[in-house]
A and B are shown apart, each in its own frame.
Chain A
Amino acid sequence: MNEPSGNIVTLNGVEKSFGAVRALAGVDFVVAPGECVGLVGHNGAGKSTLMNILAGTLSADTGEIIIGGAPQRNFSVVLAHKLGIRCVFQELSLCPNLTVAENTRVLHHAIAGFGWRTRAGRLISNQLDEIFPEHGIATDAVVGDLPIGKRQMIEVARAFTITDSPLRLVILDEPTSSLDTHRASQLLSYVRRVIGKGASCILISHLLGEILENSDRVVVMRDGKVVAVDRASGFTRDKLVAAMGATAVAKTRSTEATGARRGSTPVRVQARPATQTDSLDLVAHEGEIVGLAGLAGHGQTELLLSIFRASTRGRRFVRRDSRNILPTAQSEARSTVPGAPGLPDIASRSLDDGAKSGVRARSPARNASRSDAGRRSLIRVTDPVALIAGDRQSDGVFPLWSIAENIGIRSIAALRKGVLLSPERETEFAERWQQRIKIRTPDLRNNILSLSGGNQQKALFARALGSEAKILLMDDPMRGVDVGTKLEVYELIRSEATAGRTFLWYTTEMEELENCDHVYVFRNGRIVADLRRDELSEERVIQSSFEEAAHP
């Protein structure tokens, strides 16, 4: 740290405060050329603030920033870019209304004048080809129309494109959070190639395995300070977790044979994706945690959403149906409007089940994918459902509301006093859940956005768990959440499941699947494997994700 001349970046005693909150309390940090630095720490440890300072989007209160041996005074985004520092921010920084090529132009001030669109398009498509072969992204596609995984691929590829300024350091903040295993490994191997050529990289990830495997050196942050620095080989998972100061919750992998338990409790959810060609169903019993695995974007979210839709629509139908004593209703997957309210199809009845499985269907559900009109999606849900969305910014939080309001919204009927909402009950309700799920905030009346990402996610869990819902759908909600929070939430999920709730959990992380009693692997919109807890292994999941595995 004493010879800054050889380093790409040297930070000395950098401090930054936001109001009363001290985000960085004197950080020393160096990056050498051709080095990948892994940066880990809890949400709120100061990683993102530090990276924002390096990228020039925030300015430090005090401290020294030395880039390429030259101390920087009026450091800015433009200057950082000129000096070869690129940053892929955790929340996506693409303009959804622009095309892929136009978004590339946004980063490169040099691409202007006649033919700029073609040049920008060629630049990004070459880069995408190099990092993610067979990416299937058209450069004239509007970014907002693309799924989140592809958007992240574009964002990452864009950071590596070069025009007039060199590429010396790329900061990747949770670059794989929306990528499936396959794409993530393509990215990480590309990062290693770039480092081999002499560029440097800062990798921030909550996947400690990813950090340990891909970094040369690991920096651990806690409470705005660097608390440990060592070669990656000097760390183990447990050592990292200890250094981060994670709430030490022993990993309780219940080994009880859940195969035996299955069937002893009633079925809560039975669902078959619309694109399913055989009769493999997703079945979830009371008190079970059921995992939905496979590569990202292979129909897991769609199935969760259609289950959710089936349940909300069910409420309206149930009265009508109970008069007809209609055991189940099935609907044609239509080529129209998936989310639109429509008339129920009471035309077709399925004869096989209902009585047999003890399930009463509440509603027909419409197909989520329009590609196979005519096939049937069959969904039965017995109890109220709550959904914990994956994209908390767009589908989860109400950004203008307080934390308490955000928690209470799913349970509004229980928070009434007469016909009006009772603020006291709302606060009381929120406080109960704050203690239960440990949301870190001085005041629940603060705006929800004052919370860190992990705590916002906790508030969303509190919203769902606090409701009357017996079935909880989780659409990969732990994306980008720190280890400590994750372990706390896993614990809570297990205890709620023991108490009789059913969880359907879509996740791309193997670690989370280990909490599940039963795992269904998805591929191309279909369930291709049905694994019991004792059959579950990473190999099995990956194998099934990539090729059709013979299922029992």
Chain B
Amino acid sequence: MTSVSGAPAVRSPLAAINVSRRFLRAILPGLSLVLVLAGIAWMNPRAISYFGINLMLNLAIPVALATIAQMFVITVNDLDLSIGTFVSFVACVGATWLHDNPLFGIAVLAAAVGVYALTGAVIYLRNVPSIVVTLGMLFVWQGLAVLVLPKPGGKAPDWLHGLMNLHPPYVPFPIVAALIIAAIVHVGVMQTSYGAILRGSGGNPIAIGRAGWSLLKTKVAMFTLAGVFGVFSGLALIGLTTSADANIGKGYTLLSVAGVILGGGEFVGGRVSPIGAVIGALTLTLAGSLLNFMRISPDWQVGAEGAILIVVLAARALINRTGRGA
């Protein structure tokens, strides 16, 4: 409503609805997490303890890191289908070369991040759909992972294993890690001035270009960050499992996309939330535990996770509907 004298009378209720709608949307990821936790507490009260949470959420850290990686790509309106096999590749490198020859291992991982940056550049410069490019990369990483580690095995570096098995007082490590990841990425993407440009390049790339920013740079920046967080994810994963296999990251692609969306992100338009994405990853991981406690056979678990996703998305769609027509 354009305001003229007297208009505020009309505007204020609308504004209130807008605010409450945004608020509802913002708490939705947290609410789903609380619901899943409540379900677990109800099924198995003993699970809600320092060690219970440690056990249930351990694997949430690599998932959260992969989700953040996916979020960076989604911010610039692309989708990374290769993140799962990339995590596998990193895990294989981590359990072999990084353990045996740290310098060489680091160089290989750095080169892998470089390939990610290059992927972003190709997508921007050649204007090819990211789905096509990253689908191709999916097979590249998968193949490389098998080449590095044909049979399951290897050994994670001790420092990684030590890091992932920290036992901080009172608060379980996965929660501390989730808080740190969410806080760092939130400040970087949502609070810094260049973060605004990065998100803006997903919202209206033309406007960003017209304001004199390089869209190639934003695209490459986001893909590089995705590569970096993909490396973190793979390393965190072998820190927990101590060994690797070429299929270890299978399923991470879809989990990461689901986590971003569950956390309040949108596929297009640069609307993402790092805190939401981390919460989304935690929710998805815990949902697995909840389904275990409910004695739902693993065959059905993927379907059940999908159902949770649909319920949350339906709730979001309903909230959005309430605000339309204003």
Contact = CB atoms under 8 A, between A and B. Distances in A.
Contacts of A510: none
A182 B4 contact: yes
Interface string B216-240: 0000000000000000000000000
Contacts of B269: 96-97, 144
Contact of A369 (B197, B321, B326): B326
B195 to A, nearest CB: 9
Nearest to A104: B196
Tell me which of A57, A76, A95, A144 has the highest count of chain B C-beta atoms within 10 A of its own C-beta: A95
Say what secondary structure dominates the interface of chain B.
helix
Main SS class of interface, A:
loop
Given A94-B204, A305-B325, A336-B322, A77 B2 contact: no
Interface stretch (A108-116, A256-264, A319-327, A463-471): A108-116
Interface in B111-137: none
Given A77-B212, A106-B208, A524-B9, A97 B203 contact: yes
A42 to B, nearest CB: 24
A93 B6 contact: no
A187 interface: no
A524 B6 contact: yes
Contacts of B209: 57, 77
Given A112-B193, A337-B322, A340-B321, A57 B2 contact: no
Given A105-B193, A134-B3, A95 B204 contact: yes
Nearest to B320: A337
B2 A524 contact: no
B193 A97 contact: no
A438 interface: no
A298 B1 contact: yes
A149 B7 CA distance: 14
Interface string A272-312: 00010000000000000000000111100010010000000
B211 interface: yes
Contacts of A135: 3
Given A95-B207, A180-B2, A524-B9, A106 B325 contact: no
Contacts of A109: 212-213
A439 interface: no
A331 B17 CA distance: 22
Interface string B2-21: 11111111110110011000
A245 to B, nearest CB: 31
B193 A116 contact: yes
B35 interface: no
A494 interface: no
A378 interface: no
A340 B9 CA distance: 26
Contacts, number: 127
B207 A295 contact: no
B296 interface: no
A77 B210 contact: yes
Most-contacted residue by chain A among B7, B22, B325 (CB, 10 A)? B325
Contacts of B295: none
Nearest to A56: B212
Nearest to A80: B212
Nearest to A373: B13
A525 interface: yes
B210 A295 contact: no
B196 A368 contact: no
B193 A371 contact: no
A77 B211 contact: yes
A112 B194 contact: yes
Contacts of B200: 95, 97-98, 102-103, 106
A81 interface: yes
Given A106-B207, A134-B3, A297-B1, A97 B202 contact: yes
A519 B289 CA distance: 64
Contacts of B211: 77, 81, 93, 106-107
A371 B14 contact: yes
Interface in A46-83: 55, 57, 76-78, 81
A50 B4 CA distance: 35
Nearest to B323: A145
Given A105-B193, A369-B14, 6 more contacts: A78-B212, A93-B211, A145-B18, A149-B2, A180-B4, A371-B10
29 contacts: A76-B212, A77-B210, A77-B212, A94-B204, A95-B199, A95-B208, A96-B204, A97-B199, A98-B196, A98-B199, A105-B193, A105-B197, A106-B196, A106-B207, A106-B208, A106-B211, A136-B11, A142-B22, A144-B269, A275-B10, A297-B1, A302-B325, A336-B322, A337-B321, A338-B325, A369-B325, A370-B14, A370-B17, A371-B14
Interface of A: 55, 57, 76-78, 81, 87, 89, 93-98, 102-103, 105-107, 109, 111-113, 116-117, 134-136, 142, 144-145, 147, 149-150, 179-180, 182-183, 275, 295-298, 302, 305, 336-340, 368-371, 524-525, 546
Interface of B: 1-11, 13-14, 17-18, 22, 191, 193-194, 196-197, 199-200, 202-204, 206-213, 269-271, 318, 321-322, 324-326
